[in-house]
């Protein structure tokens, strides 16, 4: 009876276009709804048979079906994960989620805060849910798919009134053939974020598309180009993949735009000489000769000039598959392919990560470019381990047997930076060493120069550094001798260099010279390998084996760590020194860390995590005072209590066995009233 009434209401709603228009205006509170929103509402009523006041939860796929979809788009998800995490950090709001869906509107991956995830999960906004327009009405994901373009859906523009608290910004992700393969969406509670987030979503979408192009054509030659040299290897650069015969295989949308093509069909299958006045072999040779700095070329049969970098395939298919298998099967370390001298370190190089996918991906990118003469810029918060990351890249490079020279640009007085970098001859100034001094750049000759906190280098010295990077020559202070140098440059900073450039605090030309590729070291709070890292640091810094108690482990894993790995290491050293026995407890940890985790849980310290059962009978009280539940919930409760007993009430282990997060398991326990 109800469904008949809904159909009649829908029919009335569509009796004339003006009626629907008026209804949208009434919901939106302004006179003219956007044509896109009006089209979407019309589809919702006319084609999908939906009613705005009758919101049914969207369907959620089974675990098996979700796994199949995630596997089918595995390369897309892998290319998107890092960009999604970066986008979430850029937006800086805990009340939002960054979402990736497939072309059916199924959410495949989600990045958000636990609190916001829990709030929207009640509406069916979770991994595996179907947010197509026919299931969820007008919304960012579904309407983006229906329209095939980037959109914003603000609050009451959502078809279902239940979703009126949300604002969505979504953009389609295109594959190398120009087909929509996914949707990147930001859903938040703040309408003020909408315009800002839509721009960032578009930029992140382009990064994902560029990554996907590289992954799916890993065995092809690559030609990156732009009309301005500083944009060649950036988000805005055009990208072509070309086979060994010089035939174009694919292109990103920037390349199509710059070449005046509307679709891939207009360019795929044609020879590179149809577009540029150079062959593939000549482009690669010139790029190698210029150390992969952009070289000028011209559009075929015109005077239009571009700047380009051409590269051969980085690895063969077999090498790529083997490397991928290795990266999935073991933690990343800086690996040495050739024999190396004993440096007193781990033969495999400094340990970078212990199972974190973000860090593994970033290091893998660094390995691929480190021997190509590409300048590497490492960005990350203070204490995140940028120096370890840079040292590991050096150990993985062909320069591993030559010096790794590091200098912290933020820790030196301004008047000493120049002498530290470039050196000085004997007697160059009062107080100089009698025999003179070789600067850091000369010390790094043949090896790697690591400029840490480059964002704090004085402007007056940036020009000299830029000249050294371009000419690869050094003139020590007080000398007229010009010395040729050869080194791999890695720089790092916790500061936002593009922002410094915009504010006039950092040279734009130096920034482009430093950032051949930008790699991000994630903060400790984002890493997936915290437990393994904690155990590694304990073993490395302490002669006596020290175990971590259950509650102490929960505190260490849940703390935000504003000082990152540096702070964690100091805390573990102190805790191990205070520990009389062989197990760390909360008593050995700083009170501010214990209080910080306690406050974030919103519970008294003793109740934030159920303690281990002291004996098997401890769970009996759970059953004796069990609440009155229906048969299905009672059976679920009994099964979960038995599983908790089996694992000695270790919630983390039970959550892992069930394939859910600890927060989800805690919510389930509260719902069916399981308590110690």
CATH code, domain with 554:
1.10.8.60
Residue 223: inside a domain: no
**Which residue carries 């929207």 as its tokens?**
120
What pLDDT does residue 581 have? 66
What pLDDT does residue 14 have? 46
397 and 472 in a common domain: yes
Q: What is the pLDDT of residues 139-148, one digit of tens each?
A: 989 999 999 9
180 and 157 in a common domain: yes
CATH number, domain of 168, equals 3.30.450.40
Q: Of 257, 283, 311, which one is at a domain's C-terminal end?
A: 311
Residue 676: inside a domain: no
User: Which candidate, 263, 252, 246, places its Cα nearest to that of 224?
Assistant: 252
Q: What is the pLDDT of residues 339-374, one digit of tens each?
A: 333 333 344 457 787 888 889 889 988 998 898 888
**Helices and strands (H, E) in the chain, number of each type:** 27, 21
Residue 389: inside a domain: yes
151 and 135 in a common domain: yes
Residues 6+ apart with CB under 8 A from 499: none
Q: How far is CA 209 from the centre of its chain?
A: 14
CATH number, domain of 471, equals 3.40.50.300
Residues 602-626: what's their mean pLDDT?
37
271 and 336 in a common domain: no
Residue 3 has pLDDT above 50, yes or no: no
Residue 7: inside a domain: yes
Lowest model confidence (mean pLDDT) among 98-112, 260-274, 303-317, 510-524: 303-317
The pTM for the full model equals: 0.48
User: In the structure, what pLDDT confidence band is assigned to residue 492 with cuts at 50, 70 and 90?
Assistant: very high
Q: Residue 629 corresponds to which tokens in the numbers above?
A: 């539940």
431 and 342 in a common domain: yes
Per the structure, the count of domains in the chain is: 6
User: Which candidate, 285, 254, 255, 282, places its Cα nearest to that of 270?
Assistant: 255
What pLDDT does residue 436 have? 55
User: In the structure, what pLDDT confidence band is assigned to residue 26 with cuts at 50, 70 and 90?
Assistant: low
Residue 225: inside a domain: no
Q: What is the pLDDT of residues 269-295, one digit of tens each?
A: 899 999 998 888 888 888 887 767 888
335 and 478 in a common domain: yes
- Under a CB-based contact definition with an 8 Å cutoff, are residues 423 and 607 in contact? no
Lowest model confidence (mean pLDDT) among 7-21, 588-602, 661-675: 7-21
Q: Which residue has the higher pLDDT, 70 or 34?
A: 70
Cα–Cα distance, 53 to 472 (Å, whole number)? 69
Residue 113 has pLDDT above 90, yes or no: no
538 and 485 in a common domain: no
User: Which candidate, 367, 363, 353, 360, places its Cα nearest to that of 397?
Assistant: 367
175 and 38 in a common domain: no
530 and 517 in a common domain: no
What average pLDDT does the structure give for the chain?
A: 78
326 and 302 in a common domain: no
Residue 203 has pLDDT above 50, yes or no: yes
Residue 490: inside a domain: yes
Residue 379 has pLDDT above 90, yes or no: yes
Residue 661: inside a domain: yes
- Under a CB-based contact definition with an 8 Å cutoff, are residues 217 and 249 in contact? yes
557 and 515 in a common domain: no
CATH number, domain of 633, equals 1.10.10
Residue 457: inside a domain: yes
333 and 302 in a common domain: no
Lowest model confidence (mean pLDDT) among 23-37, 56-70, 278-292: 23-37
Residue 631 has pLDDT above 70, yes or no: no
Residue 82 has pLDDT above 90, yes or no: no
Q: Of 522, 546, 571, which one is at a domain's C-terminal end?
A: 522
User: In the structure, what pLDDT confidence band is assigned to residue 219 with cuts at 50, 70 and 90?
Assistant: confident
- What percentage of the chain reaches a pLDDT higher than 70? 77
Residue 632 has pLDDT above 70, yes or no: no
Q: Which domain holds residue 42?
A: 2-46
- What percentage of the chain reaches a pLDDT higher than 90? 16
Residues 632-650: what's their mean pLDDT?
76
């Amino acid at each position: 009876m109800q469904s008949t009434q809904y159909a009649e209401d829908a029919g009335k709603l569509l009796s004339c276009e003006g009626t629907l228009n008026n209804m949208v205006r009434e919901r939106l509170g302004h006179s003219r709804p956007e044509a896109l929103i009006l089209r979407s509402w019309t589809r919702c009523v006319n084609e999908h048979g939906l009613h705005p006041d009758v919101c049914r939860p969207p369907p959620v796929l089974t675990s098996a079906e979700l796994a199949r979809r995630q596997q089918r788009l595995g390369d897309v998800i892998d290319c998107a994960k890092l960009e999604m995490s970066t986008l979430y950090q850029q937006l800086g709001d805990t009340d939002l989620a960054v979402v990736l869906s497939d072309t059916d509107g199924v959410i495949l991956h989600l990045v958000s805060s636990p609190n916001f995830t829990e709030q929207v999960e009640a509406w069916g906004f979770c991994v595996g849910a179907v947010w197509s327009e026919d299931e969820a009405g007008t919304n960012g994901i579904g309407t983006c798919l229906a329209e095939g373009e980037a959109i914003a859906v603000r609050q009451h523009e959502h078809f279902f009134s239940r979703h009126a608290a949300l604002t969505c910004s979504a953009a389609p992700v295109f594959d190398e053939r120009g087909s929509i393969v996914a949707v990147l969406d930001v859903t938040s509670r703040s309408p003020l974020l909408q315009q800002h987030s839509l721009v960032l979503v578009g930029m992140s979408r382009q990064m994902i598309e560029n990554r996907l192009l590289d992954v799916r054509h890993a065995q092809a030659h690559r030609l990156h180009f732009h009309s301005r040299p500083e944009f060649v290897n950036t988000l805005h650069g055009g990208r072509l993949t070309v086979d060994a015969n010089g035939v174009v295989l694919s292109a990103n949308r920037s390349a199509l735009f710059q070449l005046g093509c509307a679709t891939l069909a207009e360019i795929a299958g044609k020879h590179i000489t149809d577009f540029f006045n150079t062959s593939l072999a000549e482009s690669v040779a010139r790029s190698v000769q210029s150390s992969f700095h952009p070289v000028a070329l011209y559009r075929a049969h015109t005077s239009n000039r571009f700047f380009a970098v051409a590269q051969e395939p980085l690895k063969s298919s077999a090498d790529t598959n083997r490397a991928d298998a290795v990266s999935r099967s073991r933690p990343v370390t800086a690996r040495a392919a050739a024999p190396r001298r004993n440096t007193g370190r781990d033969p495999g190089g400094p340990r970078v990560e212990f199972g974190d996918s973000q860090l593994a991906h970033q290091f893998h990118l660094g390995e691929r470019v480190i021997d190509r003469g590409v300048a590497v810029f490492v960005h990350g918060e203070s204490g995140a381990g940028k120096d370890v990351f840079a040292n590991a890249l050096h150990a993985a490079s062909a320069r591993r047997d030559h010096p790794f020279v590091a200098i912290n640009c933020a820790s030196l007085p301004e008047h000493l930076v120049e002498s530290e970098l470039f050196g000085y001859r004997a007697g160059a100034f009062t107080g100089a060493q009698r025999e003179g001094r070789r600067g850091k750049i000369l010390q790094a000759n043949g090896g790697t120069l690591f400029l840490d906190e480059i964002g704090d280098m004085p402007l007056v010295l940036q020009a000299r550094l830029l000249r050294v990077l371009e000419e690869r020559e050094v003139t020590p202070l007080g000398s007229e001798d010009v010395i040729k140098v050869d080194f791999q440059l890695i720089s790092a900073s916790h500061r936002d260099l593009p922002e410094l450039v915009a504010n006039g605090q950092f040279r734009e030309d130096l920034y482009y010279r430093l950032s051949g590729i930008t790699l991000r070291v994630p903060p400790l709070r984002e890493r997936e390998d915290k437990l393994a890292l904690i155990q590694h640091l304990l073993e490395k810094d302490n002669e006596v084996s020290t175990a971590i108690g259950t509650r102490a482990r929960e505190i260490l894993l849940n703390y935000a760590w504003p000082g990152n790995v540096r702070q964690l290491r100091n805390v573990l050293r102190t805790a191990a020194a205070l520990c009389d026995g062989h197990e760390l407890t909360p008593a050995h940890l700083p009170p501010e860390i214990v209080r910080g985790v306690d406050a974030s849980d919103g519970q008294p310290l003793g109740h934030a995590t159920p303690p281990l059962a002291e004996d098997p009978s401890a769970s009996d009280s759970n059953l004796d005072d069990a609440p009155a539940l229906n048969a299905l919930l009672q059976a679920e409760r009994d099964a979960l209590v038995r599983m908790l007993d089996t694992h000695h009430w270790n919630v983390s282990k039970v959550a892992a066995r069930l394939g859910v997060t600890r927060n989800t398991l805690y919510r389930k326990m509260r719902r069916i009233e399981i308590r110690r």
